[in-house]
């Protein structure tokens, strides 16, 4: 928690225009519109910090849930086609419905994420065994490939849509205000509540379906509740910041390394570490090209790969 507080303060203070800690506190608790630093904090940095916290927590929790229901440590929100579905619907919104702002994109992104996840679960549930982890993973990979191909066709057919879409798809916290966070807060809250409800179930699912049934768990309902949480969290996170990769993959591994195998603690730590990774990436993106900046999605990708390698190596050494 202390680490998250420090990163939040850094996000408010560091950028193309550095602001002292005292100036940040004044801007927060005694803002004066005639002071430039206060305007920067209030109008620019508070919204992107709030968005970073919400999106990071959403991606972190969603990644842990997906790894739990698929029993696949390499699973991330993209595995169930959520990112591909959100991206495709955003392109449809731009092309045929004239969506041009972040607030306009979010509803298409959320609808696309939900549609893709429902499709994966419906197809993966076909058969006597129901929605097994392997079937869900294979169905998600197939749907992601199909949706990505369709997305590419639409983008190549309309260069204006490509220009609007490429800024959203790279992942960014810029250009989105607190009204975007307010619009998606109910989805994030419901998703977090469902994740908390399903945490104990994930502990049982980790033992295998047969043992989970023996412990009295209703496997289809458990996966449906957890899947609904993934849709809400990942869909809302994607709508907030774009399809940012690696947060949903790396953060659960870090949380598992700290907390152990109990998903109640894994989800709690993922909710804290996700925002830390997002905000650290956002702050670094402001520093490397000052006075310009790199989008958070690009920096997360650079940070995520070595972090994941380091966590895997630590896990192997601990196992030895």
Average pLDDT, integer, range 231-238: 85
**Average pLDDT estimate for 113-128:** 82
pLDDT for the residue 311: 66
DSSP 188-210: HHHHHHHHHHHHHHHHHHTT-HH
pLDDT at 317: 42
Task: List, in order, residues 6 or more apart from 52 with CB less than 8 Å away.
Answer: 11, 173, 241, 275, 278, 279, 282, 296
Q: What is the mean pLDDT of the chain?
A: 84
pLDDT at 316: 53
pLDDT score recorded for residue 314: 66
68 or 215, higher pLDDT:
68
Tens of pLDDT, residues 252-276: 988 988 988 889 999 999 999 999 9
Q: What is the pLDDT of residue 105?
A: 74
Percent of the chain with pLDDT over 90: 22
Report which listed range, 38-42, 120-124, 308-312, is most confident.
38-42
Question: Closest Cα partner for 295 from 195, 187, 176?
Answer: 176
Cβ contacts of 39 within 8 Å, gap of 6 or more: 33
For residue 287, is pLDDT > 80?
yes
Rounded to 5 degrees, φ, ψ at 5 are -60, -45
Average the pLDDT over 119-147 and give the result.
81
Q: Domains of the chain by range and CATH?
A: 2-319 (1.10.3470.10)
Per-residue model confidence (pLDDT) at position 217: 75
pLDDT of 315 higher than 60: no
Residue 9: the pLDDT is 93
> pLDDT digit string (tens) for 194-229?
999 888 888 887 777 777 777 777 777 887 888 889
Q: Is the pLDDT of residue 152 over 80?
A: yes
Which whole number is the average pLDDT over 53-58?
Answer: 94
Q: Which residues of 42-57 are buried (b: 16+ CB within 10 A; e: fewer)?
A: bebbbbbbbbbbbbbb
Q: Are 48 and 282 in contact (CB under 8 A)?
A: yes
pLDDT at 216: 73
């Amino acid at each position: 928690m202390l680490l998250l507080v420090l990163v939040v303060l850094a996000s408010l203070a560091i950028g193309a225009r550095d602001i002292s800690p005292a100036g940040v506190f004044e801007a927060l608790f005694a803002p004066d519109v005639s002071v430039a630093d206060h305007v920067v904090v209030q109008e620019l940095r508070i919204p992107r910090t709030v968005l970073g916290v919400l999106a990071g927590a959403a991606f972190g929790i969603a990644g842990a849930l997906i790894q739990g229901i698929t029993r696949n440590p390499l699973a991330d929100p993209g595995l169930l086609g959520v990112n591909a579905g959100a991206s495709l619907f955003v392109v449809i919104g731009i092309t045929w419905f004239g969506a041009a702002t972040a607030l306009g994109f979010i509803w298409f992104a959320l609808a696309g994420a939900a549609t893709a996840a429902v499709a994966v679960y419906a197809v993966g549930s076909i058969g006597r065994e129901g929605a097994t982890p392997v079937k869900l993973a294979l169905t998600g990979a197939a749907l992601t490939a199909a949706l990505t191909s369709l997305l590419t066709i639409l983008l190549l057919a309309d260069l204006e849509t490509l220009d609007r879409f490429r800024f959203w798809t790279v992942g960014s916290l810029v250009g989105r205000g607190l009204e975007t966070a307010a619009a998606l807060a109910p989805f994030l809250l419901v998703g977090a509540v469902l994740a908390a409800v399903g945490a104990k179930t994930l502990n049982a699912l980790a033992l295998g379906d047969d043992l989970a049934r023996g412990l009295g768990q209703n496997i289809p309902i458990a996966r449906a509740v957890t899947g609904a949480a993934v849709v809400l969290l990942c869909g809302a996170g994607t709508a907030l910041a774009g399809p940012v990769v690696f947060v949903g993959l790396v953060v659960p591994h870090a949380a598992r390394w700290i907390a152990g195998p109990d998903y109640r603690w894994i989800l709690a730590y993922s909710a804290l570490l996700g925002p830390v990774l997002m905000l650290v990436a956002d702050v670094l993106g402001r520093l490397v090209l000052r006075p310009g900046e790199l989008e958070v999605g690009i920096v997360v990708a650079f940070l995520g790969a070595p972090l994941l390698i380091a966590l895997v190596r630590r896990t192997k050494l601990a196992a030895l």
